[in-house]
Amino acid sequence: MKNVNSDYSDMYKKTKKEYDDLLVRCRSESYDNRIQNSDNENKCMWSIHNEIIGRQRTADMLVPGTAQEISNAYNYYLQNIVPELLNNTKRVEWNCNIPRNNRELLLKPVAPQ
């Protein structure tokens, strides 16, 4: 009886390995075709990468509004953040205590010309 189970086990392992190899080959061909037919190969590769690792883009990550509204809000933010940071930043006086070097540094060629 053990011999029969061993035969089935070996057959299962062999069939499972063939299936896994075929699955890997088919997925690889599918991904290759998608990349080759894509207009933007880098974007397609990252999309495939995210599919493989299970990362999905969710609606929570999206910024609400039209593209024009989003770009206007972003530009407004960039224009106003610098003055706001300058107004809110505490000024700190500092002195440099490193003595000034008044010596000259002369270089000469090391290889004959």
| pLDDT, tens digit (0-9, with 9 covering 90-100), for 20-35 | 999 889 989 988 999 9
In a domain, 7, yes or no: yes
Tell me if 10 is assigned to some domain.
yes
HSE at residue 47, side-chain half, CA atoms within 13 A, is: 11
Is there a domain that residue 113 lies in? Answer: no
- Is 82 a member of any domain? yes
pLDDT in tens, 52-64: 888 766 555 567 7
Residue 99 in tokens: 């003595």
Higher pLDDT, 75 or 6: 75
- What is the residue range of 43's domain? 2-88
Total tally of structural domains belonging to the chain: 1
Q: Does the residue 108 lie in any domain?
A: no
Please check whether residue 105 lies inside any domain of the structure.
Answer: no
Position 113 scores a pLDDT of: 66
Q: What is the pLDDT of residues 66-105, one digit of tens each?
A: 888 888 988 888 888 888 888 888 888 888 888 888 888 8
0.85 surpassed by pTM: no
| In-domain check, residue 97 | no
Whole-angstrom distance, CA of residue 44 vs CA of residue 72: 28
Question: Is residue 46 within 8 Å of residue 56, measured between CB atoms?
Answer: no
Whether 106 is covered by a domain: the verdict is no
